[in-house]
Structure 1
Amino acid sequence: MMEDPRSAAERADNLHGGDVGSRHPSTPGSPRLLRVALAATILFTGFLGAAPSQAQGLGFLVPAPAKDKVQAKPKYDCDTPGAPVISLDVQSKYKQDEASKATIDEEAEEAYSEAVEPLREYAKNLVRISNAYVKSDPRNTLAATCALTWLNHWAAADAMTAMRSKQARFNLGQALGGFALAYLQIRNAPGLAEDQKKRVEAWLKALGLQIQEFMDGNKEVSGRNNHRYWAGLSAAAAGIASGDKRLTDWGIDSARIGLAQITPDGTLPLEVKRGKRARDYHIFAAQPLVATAELARSQGVDLYAENDGALSKLVKRVVDSLDDPSFFEKASGTKQEAYPGGDTVPANRIAWLEIHQSRFPSPEAEAVLEEKRPVASSGIGGDMTLLFHGKE
């Protein structure tokens, strides 16, 4: 919960030898009142209205290392990537006769999980390899070569190009961002095969255009909710990776669709409608929006500031609800689902918070992250603690 700014000010008074009781707290211009206001400002500006700070890690766009920093004899044990997933035909794991689409159909979930497991495994291992390169400061060029080999293996097979259902296209919209962000981490490493880089970039662009075409024709709610934001992240990342500005801009504009919907209380109305999973889907929707905002910043676009700083309002609402779902229970009119496997939010669900924290430091967010670091999610490039906080 939010720390009492008045108690923080009183501690500051004691540390600096001030006389806390020398004036009444409400006296205009009193040192105590000014310090209380200052403390409150410090606590809140991390979420609302602060100018972005500089990230401590390397971020998504990892620069090339200096020539004298590259390992002379790098070593990296590169595993063989799994068979490329060319075609995917899956259905939603949620019961379709329910308006909120919030209850899982166990049989459908089993079939869904089995079908997407190869995709999940590939994505998880790919970002792990790219992260290994970054973690080497980045000096181990063999790790970068390994990541490119994995990407080229799927690119050469035209992986993920035959999506045969709406849900499969949603899966592509969530997976491509992780692929492209893994590539952005290693693409500037020295000694990479140029023909493989060109093939990978063309593949990422083709998948991005496939997502764009599908979403441009999608007039359903999924064309405006979290599915669109994930599609936007994938398009923006693939556009930057392939040098396609139009695709990048489409991805950034997709994030704007979400930012424009964020209310003053930090909620997304379409995600509130998910009923007992309203909190879960706010956490889920924040992930691509924050990641896209970070990519947009590299292109000279400040999504963090748009719609009166709406993104930070969403982040604050999510952070405040992580241990206390009462707001979403009132907003949705129903009890919220518990987290799987425990009483606290899984670390992979809040990996994106590391990005926002690097720009807008908040004591509340820091308290959450301190207990969970390192936090990672394959959908946004893996280890966010490594990329935006620095090595643990």
Structure 2
Amino acid sequence: MFIDKNAGLALGIASFLFAGHAVADDSCPKPVTPVVNVDLPSRYKDDDKSRSELDETLNAEVEKSLAPIDGFIRDLAATANATTNEKKADAAAECIFNSVAAWARAGALKHAETMNAHLALSSRIAGIAAAYARALTVRKAPEETGAVIENWLVALAEMQVKYFDTEAPPMASRNNHRAWAGLAAAQVGAITNRQDLLDWGARTNEMLICSANDDGSLPEEMKRKDKALHYQLHAVAPIVVTARLLFPSKPNAPLVCQGKLDKIVDFTIAALANPALVTDLAGAKQSFQTRKEKLRSFQIAWLEPYLYLQTDDKPALDLADSFRPLSNSFLGGNLTELYRDSR
């Protein structure tokens, strides 16, 4: 049963700000040079319409290009984890404020040169915003820097909204890429009190939840052959976190389409225990079956916000317990610690 709680978690609504160039203390990671232009090829072979067969050379190029961005976000998430420690929280918040401000002033990530750059950016924007939101649970930042950061994050979110509304290809407009764009918009909207961004995130989430098959499988992810379950997991993460993020202002967000979110989660958990459920739908043995992939805790970090909403789901709780702590830098860091007091 979904229950109403009013805990002031970092994934909830906040507004943000702060500046300065001094490092808070030795625990603040060294600055990462902001990446302004993002130019990525596809990871996949040109003749693969399912977007499941990696081109190893292109994949390595993508990983190399994303490495400094992802390193920056991992640093933010690691620092955000300290915001729950009373002795370290203030220094952690200052570190996050300074780090994000440097990227905001540089106009980082504002030039997406290719379709694949746009598709990769949504989860990164969500991760930066989530870490910043956690810093804001500690204290507010100074006004001038807050304005710089806020304008930057809004510009990034609006860039993605425009792209998915007008340019994104049909498959990306309905799959995990759209889900991450929805989360990015909702997270930035929550931070900056931009109702239009929150609403766009809510509409995106409703569209994706309602698109699920009756068994809870996501149709666009089931087209991904041996990676169908991998991408189901990748889509469920932003869908669940967006539902949690919207919950304070839109308590019906997790209940759209007769509570179909529960079916999506139930199917995903059942498929992790028995990937053959997906094999039948995708027409290929899953990467988890062929041992090309092993389930890692970051892939199920979304279980913590789900269990906040759905407290009596024993399969979800059992899976979470077997992998805790659950952490994902794109979702704001260690979610097990973040949700500890709400369990």
Deviation, structure 1 residue 98: 1.3
* 1:173 aligns to 2:122 (yes or no): yes
3-state SS, counterpart of residue 313 of structure 1: helix
Residue-by-residue CA offset, 1:38-74 (whole Å, 9 max, x unaligned) = xxxxxxxxxxxx123648883523889xxxxxxxxx9
1:229 and 1:316 map into 2 onto residues whose CA distance is 18
CA distance in 2, matches of 1:329, 1:304: 28
Instruction: Determine if the alignment matches structure 1 residue 232 to structure 2 residue 179.
Output: no
Deviating more after overlay: 334-343 vs 149-158: 334-343
**In the aligned structure 2, how far is the partner of 1:138 from the partner of 1:236?**
30
Aligned mates of 1:165, 1:288 — CA distance in 2: 23
| CA-to-aligned-CA distance 1:355-384 (integer Å, 9 cap, x gap) | 111221322112211121111111111111
Is the CA contact (8 Å cut-off) linking 2:189 and 2:196 kept in structure 1? yes
Partner of 1:189: 138
**What is the one-letter code of the residue matched to 2:260?**
A
Does structure 2 conserve the Cα–Cα contact (< 8 Å) formed by 1:152 and 1:200? Answer: yes
Give the Cα–Cα distance (whole angstroms) in 1 for the partners of residues 52 and 291 of structure 2. Answer: 18
Bigger Rg over Cα: 1
Judge conservation of contact 1:129–1:143 (CA < 8 Å) in 2. yes
**Other-structure match for 2:19:** none
Report how far residue 338 of structure 1 moved. 2.4
1:132 has 2:82 as partner: yes
User: In the TM superposition, what are the counterparts of 1:99-118 in structure 2 within 5 Å?
Assistant: 99-118=49-68
Q: Which residue of 2 aligns with 1:33?
A: none
Identify the match of residue 221 of structure 1 among 171, 175, 189: 171
TM-score (norm 2): 0.90
TM-score of the pair, normalised by structure 1: 0.80
Asked if 1:366 is matched to 2:282, the reply is no
Counterpart check, 1:308 vs 2:266: no
Letter in 2 for 1:333: G
Contact 2:10 2:137 in 1 (8 A): no
In structure 2, do the counterparts of structure 1 residues 372 and 188 end up closer, same or farther at CA, with 3 Å as the change threshold?
closer
Distance of 1:357 and 1:323 partners within structure 2: 19
Q: Find the partner of 1:241 among 191, 213, 216.
A: 191
- Partner Cα separation in structure 1 for residue 48 and residue 197 of structure 2: 35
Residue of structure 2 in register with 1:52 after alignment: 3
The superposition leaves residues 250-289 of structure 1 with CA deviations (integer Å, 9 ceiling, x where unpaired) of: 1111111201101221111111111111111111110010
CA contact (8 A) 2:80 2:135 kept: yes
CA distance in 2, matches of 1:339, 1:153: 43
Aligned match of 2:213 in 245, 263, 288? 263
Distance 1:195 1:314 in 2: 43
How far, CA to CA, are the matches of 2:126 and 2:104 in structure 1?
15
Query: Following the alignment from structure 1 to structure 2, what is the Cα–Cα distance between the partners of residues 168 and 249?
Result: 24
Deviation (angstroms), 1:192: 2.7
**Displacement of 1:99 after TM fit?**
2.1
TM-aligned CA deviation for residue 298 of structure 1: 2.3
**What is the RMSD of the two structures over their aligned residues, measured on CA atoms?**
2.4
> Is the 1:76–1:142 Cα contact (8 Å) retained in structure 2?
no
Structure 1 portions without partners, runs of 5+: 1-49, 65-73
Q: Give unmatched runs, 5+ long, in structure 2.
A: 16-23
Q: Give yes or no for contact 1:55–1:389 (8 Å, CA) kept in 2.
A: no
